[in-house]
Amino acid sequence: MARQRERIRGYTLVELIISVALLGLLAGAGSRIWVDSFATMRLVDADNAGIAQARYALERLAREIREVKYDTAGGVYCVSTPFSATTLAFRKTPSGSSYNSSCATGDMTVTVWPSSGAVMLGYSTAASAALANPATLSMRYLQSDATTVATGTGDLRFVELTLTVNPSGPSTALRTLVALRNS
């Protein structure tokens, strides 16, 4: 009977206090890890959103730049010169209009430029819009070998776009090479 009483005996107050203290320590450490994981998740989501916005902006710019008009008589693209590393203005035929093969004044002018940390896209017939914010854009104009820098519209064949975004951490640079078409 004495042995059964020893086995049935409960916990002492000291044992309960030590158990509660250890559980509190473990809960505090666990909750800190949980809170930090949510903060990390928010940073990753912000970075992913910034990169997705930059990808959209690059695709949109590439689509527009592919439509640069080509003057068959002069053998040049209808791009404003001198070339700028941050600004590009060119002419294209508006959708629904008949195509003419010269840089006529009836065409639409499209301009890409930086403004207050955003990349802007504007049309002569519509309001401009911000494509990526915050971001920086740089452009290189290349000849047919895609490595030599073009000196004028006569030897221009490619436009290389580099969009750098920095939503909340290290900057990310996205780059694409746009081949200009001839008609």
Q: What is the pTM of this model?
A: 0.76
**Rounded to the nearest 5°, which phi and psi values hold at 113?**
-155, 160
pLDDT digits (tens, 9 = 90+) for 94-150: 777 777 777 766 688 899 988 888 888 998 877 888 887 777 889 999 999 999 999
Helix (H, G, I), strand (E, B) or coil at 142: strand
Helix (H, G, I), strand (E, B) or coil at 118: strand
- Which candidate, 91, 180, 182, 175, places its Cα nearest to that of 139? 175
pLDDT(4) > 80: no
Which pLDDT value is given to residue 71? 84
pLDDT(169) > 70: no
pLDDT digits (tens, 9 = 90+) for 145-168: 999 999 888 889 999 999 888 756
pLDDT(183) > 60: no
**CA dist 57 → 33, 48, 111, 182 (Å):** 36, 14, 14, 24
Tokens of 1: 């009977």
Tokens of 70: 């080509």
Categorize the per-residue pLDDT at 178 as very low, low, confident or very high, splitting at 50, 70 and 90. Answer: very high
- Please name the amino acid found at residue 117: G
pLDDT digits (tens, 9 = 90+) for 48-88: 888 888 899 899 999 999 988 888 878 888 888 888 898 99
In contact, 69 and 77? CB cutoff 8 Å? yes
Categorize the per-residue pLDDT at 7 as very low, low, confident or very high, splitting at 50, 70 and 90. Answer: low
In contact, 56 and 62? CB cutoff 8 Å? no
Which pLDDT value is given to residue 147? 92
